[in-house]
Amino acid sequence: MIDWSQLLLPALYSAVAVFILSSLIHTAFKWHTPDYKALANEDEVRAAIRKSGPGPGQYMIPYCKDGGKQSPEAVQKFVEGPVGLLVLRPSGPIQMGGFLGKWFVYCFVVALVSGYVAHFTLPPSRTYMDVFRLVGTVSWLAFAWAGPSDAIWMGKPWGSTLKFMFDGLLYALLTAGCFAWQLHTGA
């Protein structure tokens, strides 16, 4: 039987540490600021999107229903461009509280699952490095490795993807350290 306190405390410590580091990355270091670009005619593009009245969701441009990508008209649209994905949120002021709350819960769940895997995979005689290595690997997979899929299939720039993967590595190292310290020392 698992003593959940062995997982809950380091998961909580990890979520707090990752939350703080990610906040610093995005507000103090701002190394992702160059990843986002403005359209030269943003107001016109916004007006055109607003005029078409789409609701929140993910849109493909050009959109080709039922595999129509092979029709001459569809091929021409792809040749002319632009080609991309557009994600729209509900209109209104950005409420950071909801985003930050979901991010914290995500960090906690990643840590909890990573610790769970380590708890049931490693022997009772586990060392600090055993715990660190396994929790770090599992949490890095969760924090970082969806990024290449987005770069491959969605066209997200590889430079941005690699930076987010590096962020994920830092988050994984923090998570691994919290669990290795807690599970190894019993602190």
State both tokens at 83.
């080609």
The pTM of the full predicted model, rounded to 2 decimals, is: 0.91
**Distance (Å, whole) CA 89 – CA 22:** 22
Listed in sequence order, the residues at least 6 apart from 49 whose beta carbon sits closer than 8 Å to its beta carbon are 86, 88
What is the identity of the amino acid at 2? I
Contact between 10 and 111 (Cβ < 8 Å): yes
* Residue predicted with more confidence, 133 or 66: 133
Listed in sequence order, the residues at least 6 apart from 9 whose beta carbon sits closer than 8 Å to its beta carbon are 182
- What is the percent of the chain with per-residue pLDDT over 90, rounded to a whole number? 82
pLDDT confidence band for 182 (50 / 70 / 90): confident
pLDDT confidence band for 66 (50 / 70 / 90): confident
